[in-house]
Amino acid sequence: MINIKQVIDTPREILLVKNLNKSYAQTKVLTDVSFAINEGTTTSIIGSNGSGKSTLLRTLLRLIEPDSGEIHFLDRDITKIKKKELRKVRSQVGFVFQKHNLVPKLSVLSNVMHGKLSEKKGPRYWYESLAPKQCREEAMESLRAVGLEDFAKRKTTDISGGQSQRVAIARALMQKPKIIFADEPVASLDPKNGEKIMELFYNLAKEKNITLIFVSHNVDHALNYSDRVIALNRGVINIDKDSKSCTKDAIGCIYE
């Protein structure tokens, strides 16, 4: 007899990576990387410079093509699909990078609306003055989620670095993503603002049941704002543990 409660409580696997490899010329960047990510969890990927962290994150959605291996997103191997299908998969993924990639001459609200461009096309989604009412309302809701609803009409040149990153997060939320990839999202911020952004990120992910994978050099952020820590050393997974079972000293040794 099927246990309904057990079926309901079983975590859903949103991402499965098998034996992923990537090289540049004669240099191995990723070697037989394998792991699985459950829906609604937060995972940090840490490691020293050149360990393959950012390459791994970009390879997961074929922004960089892997040499071999499998990448299953919602039970579908995206290494075998065509570009048109890949675009549909990418529309379900929000990206937040160290460089916030905002359009400087446009308002905060217009920049947030650009998150819709993953599924909508045309100038109506470039500028707030042309946008459908529903799109503007969704953008305002995303700004409220990051605490910047009062900044909607400001140009992005008139806000701080921490506020810019909040706008980038709001733009990602506009996609209603199943998963967010963040590549060193607070590396350009001072420690105080960096802590605030990571706390916001973590809380939003839990509140909205969004799977979050972020790359970081900060061991404290990995321990405090992720459920799981994956550490890379020269393209090989060196640590893969629940964050509660990790210590700062144990993780810090990968930088030695």
Task: Clarify whether residues 51 and 119 are in a common domain.
Answer: no
CA–CA distance, 185 with 175 (Å, rounded to integer): 18
Domain of 204, in residue numbers: 12-92+178-256
Of the pLDDT bands very low, low, confident and very high (cuts 50, 70, 90), residue 4 is low
Greater confidence (120 vs 57) lies with 57
Report yes or no on 129 lying in a domain.
yes
Same domain assignment for residues 153 and 199: no
3 lies in some domain: no
Share of the chain above pLDDT 70, in %: 95
Q: Is residue 6 part of a domain?
A: no
Statement to judge: residues 202 and 250 lie in one domain? yes
What is the per-residue pLDDT for 7?
A: 47
- Its sign, for the CA torsion 64, 87, 156, 183, is negative
Distance CA 86, CA 75 (A): 14
Tens of pLDDT, residue by residue over 226-243, are 999 999 999 999 999 999
Q: Hey, how many other C-beta atoms are within 10 angstroms of the C-beta on 4?
A: 8
- 46-55 pLDDT tens trace: 998 889 999 9
Q: What is the pLDDT of residues 136-147, one digit of tens each?
A: 899 999 999 999
Secondary structure class of 216 (helix, strand, coil): strand
What global pTM score does this model have?
0.89
Is 159 within a domain? yes
Residue 2 lies inside a defined structural domain of this protein: no
Q: Are strands 13-24 and 27-38 parallel, antiparallel or unpaired?
A: antiparallel
Tally the domains of the chain: 2
- Any idea which residue has 């240099």 for tokens? 27
Considering the domain boundaries, does residue 205 fall inside one? Answer: yes
